[in-house]
Structure 1
Amino acid sequence: MNADQLDRAIRDVLHTWAPDDPSAPTDVADRIVRRHRRRSRMRVTGAALGLTGIAFGALLVTGTGGDDGTRQPASRVSRQSNLLWQTTMPGKSWDACTTGPRAVYCRGAEYDGIGLDARTGKVVWQQKAKGVSSGRSPAGSLPGVRDGVLYSYADHAPGAPRAGTDLVAFHIGSRKVLWKHELADDSRRWSSAVLFDGGVLANAPTSKRVTALDYRTGRTLWTHYRSDVDCDRAAIGGVPYLMCSPDSEKAPQRSTVVRLDPATGEPRTVATVKGPTAYIGTDGDAVLLGGMAGGQRFLSDPGPATLTRVDVSSGKVSQHRVDSLPMGVVADGIILASGGNGSAVAYSADDGKRLWSRDLGLKLRKDSRDPTMRELPSDAAVDLGNRVAYYLDPSGHLVGLDLDSGAMRWRGQVQVQVPKRQVEAGVAPELMVYDHGLIGQIGGELFRIKPTLPKARS
Structure 2
Amino acid sequence: MNADQLDNAIRDVLHDWTPDEAAAPAGLADRLVRRRRRRNRVRVAGAALGLAGITFGAVLVTGGNGDGTPPPAARTSTQSRLLWQTTLPAGSWDACTAQAGAVYCRGPEYDGIGVDAGTGKAAWQRKAKSADDGGSPAGSMPGVRDGILYTYADHSPGTPRAGTDLVALDVDSRRTLWKHELADDSRGRTSAVLFDGGVLANTPTFKSVAALDSRTGRTLWTYTWKKADCDRAVIGGVPYLTCSPDSEKAPQKSTVVRLDPATGEARTVATVKGMTTYIGTDGDSVLLGGMAGGQEFFGDPGPATLTRVDTRTGSTTQHRVDGLPSGVVEDGRILTVDGKGNAVAYSAGTGKRLWSRDAGLTLREERGDPRMRELPSAAAVDLGSRVAYYLAPSGQLVGVDLDGGTVRWRGRVELPKSPVQGGIAPELMSFEHGLIGQVGGTLFRIEPRLS
**Which TM-score applies when normalising by structure 2?**
0.91
2:429 corresponds to 1:432: yes
The equivalent residue for 2:356 is 357
2:230 corresponds to 1:231: yes
Q: Is the alpha carbon distance of 1:143 and 1:36 closer, same or farther for their aligned partners in structure 2, counting shifts above 3 Å?
A: closer
The equivalent residue for 1:39 is 43
CA distance in 1, matches of 2:212, 2:300: 36
Q: Is the Cα contact below 8 Å between 1:10 and 1:33 reproduced in 2?
A: no
The equivalent residue for 2:179 is 180
User: What residue ranges of structure 2 are gaps of 5+ in the alignment?
Assistant: 13-25, 65-69
- Cα offset for 1:10? 7.9
- Cα offset for 1:3? 3.0
Deviations 1:240-266 (A, max 9, x none): 000001111221111100000111111
Q: Is the alpha carbon distance of 1:40 and 1:285 closer, same or farther for their aligned partners in structure 2, counting shifts above 3 Å?
A: farther
Secondary structure at the counterpart of residue 94 of structure 1:
coil
Secondary structure at the counterpart of residue 338 of structure 2:
strand
CA distance in 1, matches of 2:271, 2:239: 17
2:445 corresponds to 1:445: no
CA distance in 1, matches of 2:9, 2:125: 31
Secondary structure at the counterpart of residue 256 of structure 2:
strand
Q: Is the Cα contact below 8 Å between 2:59 and 2:338 reproduced in 1?
A: yes
The equivalent residue for 2:52 is 61
Secondary structure at the counterpart of residue 35 of structure 2:
helix
Secondary structure at the counterpart of residue 154 of structure 1:
strand
- Cα offset for 1:355? 0.4
- Cα offset for 1:8? 6.0
Q: Is the Cα contact below 8 Å between 1:339 and 1:345 reproduced in 2?
A: yes
Deviations 1:304-340 (A, max 9, x none): 2111000000111000111211110111111112221
2:392 corresponds to 1:393: yes
CA distance in 1, matches of 2:378, 2:365: 19
Secondary structure at the counterpart of residue 31 of structure 1:
helix
Q: Is the Cα contact below 8 Å between 2:38 and 2:134 reproduced in 1?
A: no
Q: Is the Cα contact below 8 Å between 1:66 and 1:359 reproduced in 2?
A: no
Q: Is the Cα contact below 8 Å between 1:375 and 1:424 reproduced in 2?
A: yes
The equivalent residue for 2:303 is 304
Q: Which amino acid aligns with 1:68?
A: T
CA distance in 2, matches of 1:179, 1:117: 24
The equivalent residue for 2:15 is none
- Cα offset for 1:30? 3.6
CA distance in 2, matches of 1:34, 1:267: 35
Secondary structure at the counterpart of residue 3 of structure 2:
helix
- Cα offset for 1:138? 1.3
Q: How much identity, in percent, do the aligned residues show? A: 66
User: What residue ranges of structure 1 are gaps of 5+ in the alignment?
Assistant: 14-22, 43-54
Q: Is the alpha carbon distance of 1:123 and 1:282 closer, same or farther for their aligned partners in structure 2, counting shifts above 3 Å?
A: same
Q: Is the alpha carbon distance of 1:243 and 1:168 closer, same or farther for their aligned partners in structure 2, counting shifts above 3 Å?
A: same
CA distance in 2, matches of 1:131, 1:35: 17
Secondary structure at the counterpart of residue 340 of structure 1:
coil
The equivalent residue for 1:240 is 239
Q: Which amino acid aligns with 2:62?
A: D
Q: Displaced runs of 4+ in structure 1, greater than 6 A?
A: 10-13, 23-27
RMSD value, Cα: 2.2
**Which TM-score applies when normalising by structure 1?**
0.89
- Cα offset for 1:296? 1.0
